Amino acid sequence: MQPPIRLPATAVLARHPVSFSWWPARQLGWRLSWPCPGGNGPTTLRIEEKTGPWDLVSQADRQVEDAVRAVLAQHRPDDRVLGEESGEAAGVSEIQWIVDPIDGTLSYLYGLPDWTVSIAAARVGDGQLLAGVVSAPVLGRVVEASRGGGTWMNGRPVNVRSTAELSHALVGINFGRGETRDKAGRMVDALLPRVRHVRRGGSTAAALAEVAIGAADAAWSPGGQPWDVAAGVLLVQEAGGVVGDLGGRTPGTWPASGDVLAATPGLWEPLHSLLTEVYAG
Ligand code: IPD
Ligand code: CA
Ligand code: CA
């Protein structure tokens, strides 16, 4: 019998990916970014294209995923694991861990600080989120949540902001892939005149964590995979925010479409209406 998932268990998992990944990740990032500020210096890091030049995977992504899987094998041996780089591992329990070893690989490879390690635990079947952590090693920021236990940043409780007017909203935007990228221009055109401003970072998980900690009022990230969004969604929900997609709210889980709108309770509806117009056309 494994222990139930509680905050201390997530805290352990929150620290382990950072301590396992920090050394190799930091060294490799340093080698990439230091010789030339553009991140164009010599490197021995193996980098491959997955679906195209916009979609890279490096040796560091694989190393971090291996390290996270090793921690899970030790602490939660019965559970299933779904990781971006190594796929699914079977388990006998009804819990699945969903792992994005580096969310924001492009940021990581260019020496930008906003990449994250994103790990969630969800119930198999209905996808109810049980625990989640998004850690940003370069920023020294670990944001974690467990179902019913609230959201915590570096050991302090956090909540979403109380913003309720679109004109006061700072919105993190993401462009997604394929056809959602084609609509990115229209999305920005619709948002910019109505909101306070927009921000574009390199990690969907980081954008969701920013809503949870009050560093943004909302985030819109279309076309994500479960490992991009699962942990961040729980952080927002447990911090008092609302999450869903263009089809509606998805309390307790992430939208199956992979399109994620996360916002303060007062901003979710107006943003939902605005974005529905953009993507309907
Ligand atoms: C990517 C990041 C990025 C988003 C892409 C994702 P990766 O994840 O979340 O913000 O725009 O759609 O694929 O590939 O760096 O793990
Ligand atoms: Ca990702
Ligand atoms: Ca990734």
Ordered DSSP codes for 250-276: -TTS--TTS-EEEE-HHHHHHHHHHHH
202 lines ligand 1 (CB under 6 A): yes
Prediction pTM value = 0.88
| Spatial separation of the C-alpha atoms in residues 168 and 190, rounded to whole Å | 15
Contact 243, 255 (CB under 8 A): yes
Mean pLDDT for 157-175 is 97
Distance 108 CA to ligand 1 centre (A): 11
Instruction: Give the atom of ligand 1 at the shortest distance from the alpha carbon of 174.
Output: 11
Instruction: Give the atom of ligand 1 at the shortest distance from the alpha carbon of 227.
Output: 16
- Which pLDDT belongs to residue 217? 98
| Spatial separation of the C-alpha atoms in residues 215 and 201, rounded to whole Å | 12
Supply the DSSP string of 1-67, one letter for each residue. Answer: -PPPP-HHHHHHHHHHHHHHHHHHHHHHHHHHHSSSTTS-S-----EEEEEETTEEEEHHHHHHHHH
CA distances (Å), origin 185, targets 85, 173, 279: 30, 11, 11
**DSSP code for 157:** E
Same fold, 7-158 and 166-280: no
Tell me the per-residue pLDDT of 135-153, one tens digit each, with 9 for 90 and over. 887 787 888 888 888 998 9
Is residue 225 very low, low, confident or very high in pLDDT (cuts 50, 70, 90)? very high
3.30.365.10, 3.20.20.210, 3.30.70.120, 3.30.540.10: which CATH number matches 7-158? Answer: 3.30.540.10
**Domain boundaries 166-280, CATH class:** alpha beta
Is residue 39 very low, low, confident or very high in pLDDT (cuts 50, 70, 90)? low
Q: Is the pLDDT of residue 17 over 50?
A: no
Average pLDDT, the chain: 83
- Which pLDDT belongs to residue 188? 96
- Greatest mean pLDDT among 49-63, 98-112, 157-171 lies in 157-171
Which residues keep their CB under 5 angstroms from ion ligand 3? 84, 100, 102
Domain boundaries defined on the chain: 7-158, 166-280
181 lines ligand 1 (CB under 6 A): no
135 lines ligand 1 (CB under 6 A): no
Q: SS3 for 108? A: helix
104 lines ligand 1 (CB under 6 A): yes
Q: Hey, CA dihedral for 139, 29, 106, 131, is it positive or negative?
A: negative
Dihedral class, residue 61 (left if φ above 0, else alpha if ψ from -120 to 50, else beta): alpha
